[in-house]
Amino acid sequence: MGNQKKEVKKDWKKVAGAIVGGAILIAGGAGIGGISDNNTVQEQAAQILQLEDDADNLNTQIVDLKANPVIETVEVEKIVEVEKIVEVEKIVEIDSENLGLVLDHIYDNEGDIEYLLDDLDDDEVGQIVDRIVFINDIKVLAATEADNEIKDLLDRETFSLFDTTTNTTINVTFDEDDIKRVRVQDDADEMNIIEPDFEDSDVDVRVAVKFEQEDRITRDMIKYIATVIVEFRDGEVDDIDLESVDFR
């Protein structure tokens, strides 16, 4: 009889995986050798089984690392910009001649004169006196304009006003011929400056005007108060608008 070849069936998929796993372990210093061609089939089979066990152990370690990753805390320096508001005091030198003017303006505005300092540099604070003079002149012009135009602004205008004595809303139509006892609130502290632009001499002034009109049914004189906005452009009256009307 001729020579018979003895075949050993091997799962090459497992063998390949085991060899790769064995190679990884060798690279990592595990000290496991490869399969020698000089070994017997039984020895090779035993080596393959050992490599498979080593590969399984390696896979288990990889799974453990995925489930419980090593987290390392690293300190990173970060620069953050912080905006800080700093209050700066401005010292304004006022001569004795204008001191009374400045003090009166501060008193009339209850100390709120920040609008006089807007856009002024330290070397320009001397312009405050000029600005106060401008505001005082503008207020006089605004009061005069309100006095002259209030009846025309109210004429034939109808307002729905709430009467607190009866808790009802009443429609009131004004007639310039029936409006009496007009009194503009022209004291400096009774008028409000709105968004002044001193460079262009532009400013709005809110002015209150008290007046009375006879009720057409009861013939009683009813007291009202209106608010108007006088607009100035280049230092001159440009327009006037009726803002509101109410009982007083």
Whole-number Å distance between alpha carbons of 113 and 135: 12
75 pLDDT higher than 60? yes
DSSP state of 191: S
Amino acid occupying residue 60: T
38-41 own/partner pairs: CB under 8 Å, 24+ apart: 41/6, 41/8
Number of residues that make up the chain: 248
Pairing of strands 192-197, 202-214: antiparallel
21/227 Cα distance (integer angstroms): 92
* Range list of H helices, 28-158: 41-67, 96-108, 114-117, 128-154
**Banded pLDDT at 2 (limits 50, 70, 90):** very low
What average pLDDT score do residues 31-50 get? Answer: 63
Listed in sequence order, the residues at least 6 apart from 139 whose beta carbon sits closer than 8 Å to its beta carbon are: 186, 188, 191, 193, 205
pLDDT digits (tens, 9 = 90+) for 97-135: 677 777 787 777 776 777 787 777 766 767 888 888 999
Higher pLDDT, 103 or 176: 176
Give CA–CA dist 53/51, Å, rounded: 5
- pLDDT at site 16: 42
Most confident of 52-56, 65-69, 138-142: 138-142
**How far apart, in whole angstroms, are the C-alpha atoms of residue 80 and residue 229?**
46
Three-class SS of residue 200? coil
Between CA 179 and CA 233 the distance in angstroms is 30
